[in-house]
Amino acid sequence: MIKYAKLINEETKEVVISLGTNTDFYKSIGMTEMEVEQAYNGSWYISGFAPQKTEMSYVEKRIAEYPSITDQLDMIYWDKVNNTNLWAEKIAEIKAKYPKE
């Protein structure tokens, strides 16, 4: 996508872009027309330089899905009271869903 943009980081090729239509103003502050793309994090870059979101590791996926420590302790308590095994089943389900790589 072509937009008026100004390079703000030579190493990463990150740019700031214009959102309006006042081309004379954008030119006056050093912006030029460039082919740009937006990264997953919302920042803008010269096309071809936008960082790509990396796939989460199995550890990160597990952490995101595990219940909070408070909820896990509550589950363990009620498993003891009710003679159930819900906590262990929940943890095993998550570990099976995201096995070690």
- What domain count does the chain have? 2
Given a contact cutoff of 8 angstroms between Cβ atoms, the answer to whether 56 and 40 are in contact is no
| 52 occurs within a structural domain | no
| 81 occurs within a structural domain | yes
| 88 occurs within a structural domain | yes
- 33 and 62 inside one domain: no
What are the pLDDT digits (tens) for 26-85? 999 999 999 999 999 999 999 999 999 999 999 999 999 999 999 999 999 999 999 999
pLDDT on residue 83: 98
pLDDT grade, residue 20 (50/70/90)?
A: confident
pLDDT on residue 4: 95
Q: Which domain does 65 fall in, by range?
A: 58-97
| 51 occurs within a structural domain | no
- 63 and 36 inside one domain: no
- 68 and 93 inside one domain: yes
| 32 occurs within a structural domain | yes
pLDDT on residue 56: 92
Measured CA to CA, the distance from residue 98 to residue 71 in angstroms comes to 20
